[in-house]
Structure 1
């Protein structure tokens, strides 16, 4: 079975989201701090997207990450094979989107997250409440000045609009990342932290 790559999915969803909002490539470039030529490559399916790129586009377009990465919204039994998923890599994290679950009053995105031993993965913030459940290894999570060290079976939840970071403490970390938000939530970029549309 042939699967659509993250690159192709992002290309189609980025173009659709930009056109729906009536934004030019120049405006998305300004909002995201991503070069216009890089955006053009991403829309053509020729770019090499990173986690940081997708998060920046999510912020600039005021939409959930899954709307840039999701290929379908099927119902019923779904089997996700690790070998069929593209990895979206960042400074210190490898992320695979497993599922997007739509409920009446919430959307939950499920990710397989691996934090590499080198460096820290930082985020300026994005839509939703973030939940991380450590499966193996020890993980340091920092959110707006607060720090928590987690081991296998531990879970942390926080307002993902706040700047946050992940650091593996003693080697690689395997974890499950859940992003939860309400349909229509957008990040408030006017200088105040928080969500619009609640």
Structure 2
């Protein structure tokens, strides 16, 4: 699915989930902490939402990002073929982030495949309380910043950290690399978001 098709699919999924709760636009926007204008643009497929916005909306709806993006149909077995894994972030230098698997509430787990090209960087805002993230670098190197602490993770290195702090993943030249040629960084990321809140009582349905 191309970016335009993905944007339209996201908008349809958000609108369907909102109407299933009987919520109007103002109620979901307030609950998710986003503007009504942005929500309208998302639902109409006019805006490519950020990962942070998608997380806020899916959390507010009470089912988490994997279920919103239809990469899980638990409880037995959910398979996401490589060509169907949604790309939810694209870097200015060509990197991208794909949500490849996930679980449904109450304990939501997200499995991501990230690629960073030289110059690429992603800033992640604080997640909901209790969120943990785990990262393992598979190729190249990543400069990981969590709060005020920064570490360079080389191929094979891993880390875990609290997702309630601001954090950044950025491309880095590997330590002790003999060649000057830039190496694409690729890493696996797991996000655990425990016990999403249940949706509140229904509001009168609106536009």
**TM-score (structure 1 length as normaliser):** 0.71
Q: Any unmatched runs of 5+ in structure 1?
A: 187-198
For residues 60 and 79 of structure 1, what CA distance do their matches in structure 2 show?
Answer: 24
For residues 77 and 65 of structure 1, what CA distance do their matches in structure 2 show?
Answer: 15
Aligned to 1:132: 135
For residues 55 and 91 of structure 1, what CA distance do their matches in structure 2 show?
Answer: 18
Aligned to 1:195: none
For residues 16 and 9 of structure 2, what CA distance do their matches in structure 1 show?
Answer: 11
1:14–1:43 contact (8 Å) kept in structure 2: yes
Stretch moving more, 21-30 or 109-118: 21-30
Deviation, structure 1 residue 49: 2.9
Q: Any unmatched runs of 5+ in structure 2?
A: 174-181, 199-207
1:51–1:90 contact (8 Å) kept in structure 2: no
Give the 3-state SS of the residue equivalent to 1:15 in structure 2. Answer: helix
Q: 1:108 to 1:8 in 2, by over 3 A?
A: same
Give the 3-state SS of the residue equivalent to 2:136 in structure 1. Answer: strand
Deviation, structure 1 residue 9: 4.0
Deviation, structure 1 residue 163: 1.0
Aligned to 1:114: 115
For residues 59 and 104 of structure 2, what CA distance do their matches in structure 1 show?
Answer: 21
2:123–2:169 contact (8 Å) kept in structure 1: yes
Report which of the two structures shows the higher radius of gyration computed on alpha carbons: 2
Stretch moving more, 162-171 or 85-94: 85-94
Matched residue count: 179
2:72–2:104 contact (8 Å) kept in structure 1: no
Calculate the aligned-residue CA RMSD, in Å: 3.1
Aligned to 1:7: 7
Stretch moving more, 123-132 or 87-96: 87-96
Aligned to 1:167: 170
Report 1:45-194 matches (<5 A): 45-58=45-58, 64-74=64-74, 75-76=76-77, 78=79, 80-81=81-82, 83-90=83-90, 94-101=96-103, 106-127=107-128, 128-170=131-173, 171=182, 172-184=184-196
**TM-score (structure 2 length as normaliser):** 0.69
1:43 and 2:43 correspond:
yes
Deviation, structure 1 residue 99: 1.0
1:140–1:147 contact (8 Å) kept in structure 2: yes
Q: 1:73 to 1:61 in 2, by over 3 A?
A: closer
